[in-house]
Amino acid sequence: MSFVLYTDSSANLTEAEYTSNQIEVVSLTLSLNEEEILCYEPGVVFDSEAFFARMRAESDLVMKTSMVNTATFLTAFEPHLQAGEDVLYLGMAGGISGTCGAGEKAAEILQKKYPERKIRVVDTLTATIGQGMILLEVVGLRDGGATIDEAAAYTQRRKGEMHSYFMVDDLNFLKRGGRISGSAALAGSIMHLKPILKGDEEGKIVLDLKILGRKKALKTLQELFDQFHVSGEGNRLVGITHTGCEDDAHLLAADIIERYPDVEVTVVYFEPCTASHVGPGAVGLFFF
């Protein structure tokens, strides 16, 4: 390999995908009533369904997420640099986590210590499977012999072509995370609003549309795909994430495949960190 490829647990790939593609992972941390859990830990399968059920059942469940800190990045990156390897880290959106910023700080420190090595950090401006989709494309570049600078430049371009949308079922989880006010959450719940959120050009999650009713909100996700998807060999990958509503996720996937038979749709659970903020019943859609 021409460089070592790193990401964080937000990328929402499986352990088998990380291992087979030789991707190194640093993990964010999820705290449930002060019990800390790594969002990705080799050999440990996170029970997503049990987590979503607990979110529904325990209204007083205290959930907090912790970014990957600079010290963790230093510990992860330095052995590769000592071994004469370059490092490329593709991180979750800086607009929703300080993780990528911590990676940049570590790179700055280590670059001074190892001036002969290349350390590149790229904010993907997305998260979960959207981040994973970009990551897998870069794996192909790396394995095809691309240099670290070519791979970083490709990611800089490709991240601007990624669309990230989320349909949220329960506004109270956005309220807990400080995304909306308590009065807005109450009003939205009474009116059965299902907001469509999106990742903006700065990697922040912003409100895009207010839709009345879940069925119409899911239909709106399909319509957004119709509006912004650009067909082509390089844009065939589509990612759909969900928090305990697999049937809805697969129905959305089937609708897209019926209209665009050339696409390849992956349906996965939201990884724990992101799931804790969007709450159960959420559906995410990611495409180029």
**How far apart are alpha carbons 258 and 39 in whole angstroms?**
34
Q: Which of helix, strand or coil describes residue 145?
A: coil
The span from the CA of 255 to the CA of 225, in Å, is: 11
pLDDT over 90 for what percent of the chain? 82
Q: Could you confirm whether domain 163-287 is CATH 3.30.1180.10? A: yes
- Smallest Cα–Cα separation from 69: which of 18, 27, 113, 13? 27
* Length of the chain measured in residues: 288
CATH of 4-28+67-159, one of 3.30.300.30, 3.10.180.10, 3.40.50.10440, 3.40.50.300: 3.40.50.10440
pTM exceeds 0.75:
yes
Q: How do residues 35-52 score in pLDDT, each as one tens digit?
A: 999 999 999 999 999 999
Q: Phi-psi category of 130—alpha, beta or left, where left has phi over 0 and alpha has psi -120 to 50? A: alpha
Q: Which residue, among 4, 256, 18, has the nearest Cα to 132 in the 3D structure?
A: 18
Contact 39, 49 (CB under 8 A): no
In the chain, what are the domain boundaries?
4-28+67-159, 163-287
Contact 284, 165 (CB under 8 A): yes
Per-residue pLDDT reduced to its tens digit, 197-236: 899 999 988 888 889 889 999 999 999 999 999 988 889 9
pLDDT of residue 22: 98
Q: Look at residue 191 and tell me whether its pLDDT is greater than 60.
A: no
Quick one: CA dihedral 209, 213, 214, 218, positive or negative?
Answer: negative
Residue 192 has pLDDT above 90, yes or no: no
What does the pLDDT read at residue 194?
Answer: 84
pLDDT over 90 at 181, yes or no = no
Give the mean pLDDT of 276-288: 94
State the sign of the Cα–Cα–Cα–Cα dihedral 193, 215, 178, 182.
positive
Question: Residue 177 — very low, low, confident or very high, per pLDDT cuts 50/70/90?
Answer: low
Query: What average pLDDT does this structure show over 105-114?
Result: 98
